[in-house]
Amino acid sequence: MKHDDSISVRDERGIVQSVRSISTESYLIKEVNVLTTCLNEIGDKYWFRHGQKGTTGINRPEADCYTSVVTGRTVCAHMNPIGILARMTDGLVSELHKSTASAVYGQFTNATPFQTDAQKSKEVDVIATLLAVGAQRLCYETFINGMTGEMTAPLLTGICYMSPLAHLVGNKIHARNRGPRKLLTRQPDDGRSKHGGLRFGQMEVDCFIASGAASSVVERLKKSSDGVDVPVCSKCGLLGEMCRATNYKFCRTCYSSEHVSIINISYSNKLFLQELTALHIKPALVLAPQTADIEENQNHQNPIHVQKSIVNPKKKVSSYYDLTLLPEPEPWEWEKYGMKPPMNLRQRIGELSTTASEEALEKACTVKGKKK
């Protein structure tokens, strides 16, 4: 039986150029190369041969572009001349001169300055060629603004090699509402190919806060990313335990459920606190007192009795382990965490007989006025 597990990596459309088959011991891989025709749009990246690169800022109709007074043709691309000064790429100006003269003369030429006198004599004379056809010797031309009809000051123009890069803006568009998450941190996967999320870095956080949209940061990072409700003991500051079925909270350090509250933090923060605890570092959290928690503690002095009615009022509850899905502690845990193991009446009497007085022993053996 054969099962097809082929996965379409991208939604590519175009002309198939080649198909290759790669066979391994257990897989048969088909590699398809597709030629896609991409039209220029705002944001596409281009580069020159002198370290210059840039993106398309605006696309205008041909009627609105600058038209040369000399040739009557429009300019293909405009470049800010400050880029040549900032990057010190004077080779680009040299290429404009020699490429224009070579196109007029109809001959290939070498644009490098490292030539002997004999080699230079065989190259195209740029200034003589441009003057012969009536052009300005430094490739300056006057243009007419296609939108206003005004004549501009002389601009440096010429023929230059320019190539697009593979960083097309159409391939960079990426957004998601929900998708896969990492198992360890519960944060979205990274990468457009994995249908991952967009990274919201520290600078983006600062921009949102400076714009007065701090609540959006909380909504993005806590609710949409990896927010989680965790129990925290306000007495010792450590993370507690909670049973999702009965909503019962307990702190193993304090051996009590009286001071445990629920807070909402990111799952990565909770993971960091647990890693510190594993390194024997106590990351104590200081909780601010809330009115709702104070009223709840006043109304419910004994939270264990409240949990009895939630689970089963007819069932006899002997310990808090009956209310949760937590496992019974191991014998070594009782001693390590300073908890007293459960004892029956016979063990309790044996303990009191060695440490307590006769009055305390008689009081422990008396239930509702009847001696046991």
- List, as one string, the DSSP characters of 292-323: HHHHHHHH-S-HHHHHHHHH-TTSPP-SGGGT
Rounded to the nearest 10°, the torsion over CA 140, 141, 144, 145 is: -30
Report yes or no: 41 and 56 within 8 Å, Cβ to Cβ.
yes
pLDDT of residue 73: 87
pLDDT at 372: 53
How far is the C-alpha of 347 from the C-alpha of 366, rounded, in Å?
16
Backbone torsions φ then ψ of 273, nearest 5 degrees: -65, -40
pLDDT tens for each residue of 211-261: 999 888 888 777 778 888 899 998 888 999 888 777 788 888 888 888 888
Q: What is the structure's pLDDT at 310?
A: 39
Nearest to 246 by CA among 182, 309, 328: 309
Q: Report d(CA 92, CA 309) in Å as an integer.
A: 83
Alpha helices in 75-138 (DSSP H): 82-87, 91-105, 117-122, 126-132
Mean pLDDT by 10 residues, the chain (372 residues): 67 84 85 86 91 90 88 87 88 88 86 80 84 86 90 88 88 82 87 81 90 86 82 90 82 86 89 92 84 50 41 48 56 69 63 61 59 54
Q: Which domains does the chain have, with CATH numbers?
A: 45-164 (2.40.270.10), 175-341 (3.90.1800.10), 343-372 (no CATH)
Name the token pair of 301.
């002095």
How far apart, in Å, are the Cα atoms of 205 and each of 200, 219, 278?
7, 12, 30
The pair of three-digit structure tokens given for residue 38, joined into one six-digit string? 């991409």
What type of residue sits at position 269? N
Residues 153, 144: contact at Cβ < 8 Å? no
Q: What confidence score (pLDDT) does residue 346 get? A: 64
Max CA separation in the chain (angstroms): 129
**Which 3 state secondary structure label does DSSP give 169?**
helix
By DSSP bridging, strand 163-164 and strand 45-47 are antiparallel
pLDDT tens, position by position, 292-318? 454 555 555 444 444 433 344 444 545
How many residues in the chain?
A: 372
Q: How many Å apart are CA 334 and CA 249, to the nearest integer?
A: 19
